């Protein structure tokens, strides 16, 4: 009898809490609502130490809070949520702790596939973001299974950063961009692909097959043309070396970027005037258009290219460091740092973050337009 009475009270308070949240979220919705939340879940171990819990209990408490935060976000109308679950740097912790975390992560990942899980309740598509090949095989297989199972969900998106650091993301994006660009320009290095080679490599002039040198085609001097070996650029960038011309500030330019661009060169050649030289204005613009690597190329190869940049980054425990998390994507994001440890985070922390976002919304919109 007492159990039934307690159960009814629990249901009553649960219903009242849900009604209260709906009312509060309706009021918040009168202002701008963030489209993308990012969470750095800091303080799990400190919480366990503070509460004198056994090792790993803090992370389990943190997972429970995460589920509540996800529910609040999706009820509020937030479309994207990103969580920093496991950094590459975390592999440097004690082996027993790493294994314990991997076991917990595997358990929770498998739980996402259950019918009553939050993923199925809110129609969430799940992405695992990071260098997944660093994960153990059971965790990686489970992650891939969840991504495949939720691929058709379209209401909300959950991005789980595992084996992730922003530096690793940027390096692999530059590497993939260089590789793709090299594959694009490679056909034009072949005489069969294009009717002539229009390239200068290591300062050597190469004819196009018709007796005209590259310099004649473009109307510029040899030292003003720089064709980049994409493979070398790729390796150097991966090592953190920037191949740049100190005089011109050019990172790397190719005379042609594709066979389509070669057609543009031919049309310019046909329109040569005066002393068979193309005006420098045209040639300089063409060189600019054929720039090998652009920001958009790098961004398209980022792990996080599947989602817009975060509007708010919330880091618990009062820390204001990003700790190598979404460094590229957060230049116009609000950073909110409540003093509470992650397992102590509650609804009102999320509400304050939204109110802070609304208060600063016009400022961030102006900053975005400047880029």
* Residues tagged active-site: 42
The C-alpha atoms of residue 324 and residue 169 are separated, in whole angstroms, by 10
Q: Are 82 and 71 in contact (CB under 8 A)?
A: no
DSSP structure string for 61-110: HHHHHHHHHHHHHHHHT--EEEEEEEEGGGGGS-HHHHHHHHHHHHHHHH
* Residue 345 C-alpha from the chain's centroid: 25
- Classify residue 58 by burial, with Cβ atoms within 10 Å: 0-12, 13-18, 19+: buried
Task: State the number of CA atoms in the 13 A half-sphere of 362 facing the CB.
Answer: 2
The C-alpha atoms of residue 183 and residue 80 are separated, in whole angstroms, by 33
Q: What is the token pair recorded at 299?
A: 């961004």
Residue among 117, 137, 112, 107 nearest 127 (CA): 112
């Amino acid at each position: 009898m007492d159990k039934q009475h307690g159960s009814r009270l629990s249901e009553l308070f649960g219903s009242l809490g849900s009604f209260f949240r709906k009312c509060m979220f309706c009021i918040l919705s009168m202002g701008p609502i963030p489209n993308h939340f990012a969470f750095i879940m800091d303080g799990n171990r400190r919480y366990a130490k503070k509460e004198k819990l056994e090792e790993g209990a803090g992370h389990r408490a943190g997972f429970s809070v995460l589920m509540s935060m996800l529910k609040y976000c999706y009820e509020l109308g937030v479309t994207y949520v990103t969580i920093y679950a496991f950094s590459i740097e975390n592999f440097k912790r004690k082996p027993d702790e790493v294994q314990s975390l991997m076991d917990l992560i595997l358990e929770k990942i498998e739980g996402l596939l259950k019918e009553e899980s939050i993923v199925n309740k809110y129609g969430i598509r799940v992405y695992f973001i990071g260098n997944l090949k660093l994960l153990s095989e059971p965790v990686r297989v489970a992650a891939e299974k969840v991504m495949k199972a939720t691929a058709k969900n379209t209401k909300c998106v959950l991005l789980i950063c595992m084996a992730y650091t922003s530096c690793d993301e940027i390096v692999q994006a530059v590497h993939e961009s260089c590789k793709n660009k090299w594959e694009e320009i490679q056909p034009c290095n072949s005489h069969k692909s294009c009717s002539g080679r229009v390239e200068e490599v290591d300062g050597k002039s190469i004819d196009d097959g018709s007796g005209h040198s590259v310099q004649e085609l473009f109307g510029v001097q040899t030292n003003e043309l720089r064709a980049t070996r994409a493979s070398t650029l790729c390796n150097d960038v991966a090592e953190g070396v920037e191949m740049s011309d100190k005089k011109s500030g050019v990172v790397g330019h190719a005379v042609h970027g594709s066979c389509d661009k070669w057609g543009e060169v031919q049309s310019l050649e046909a329109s040569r005037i005066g002393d068979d030289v193309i005006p420098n204005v045209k040639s300089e613009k063409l060189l600019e258009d054929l720039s090998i690597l652009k920001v958009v190329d790098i961004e398209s190869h980022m792990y996080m290219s599947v989602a817009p940049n975060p509007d708010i980054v919330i880091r618990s425990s009062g820390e204001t460091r990003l700790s190598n998390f979404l460094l590229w994507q957060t230049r116009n994001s609000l950073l909110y740092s409540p003093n509470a440890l992650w397992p102590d985070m509650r609804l009102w922390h999320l509400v304050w973050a939204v109110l802070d976002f609304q208060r600063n919304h016009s400022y961030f919109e102006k900053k975005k337009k400047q880029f």
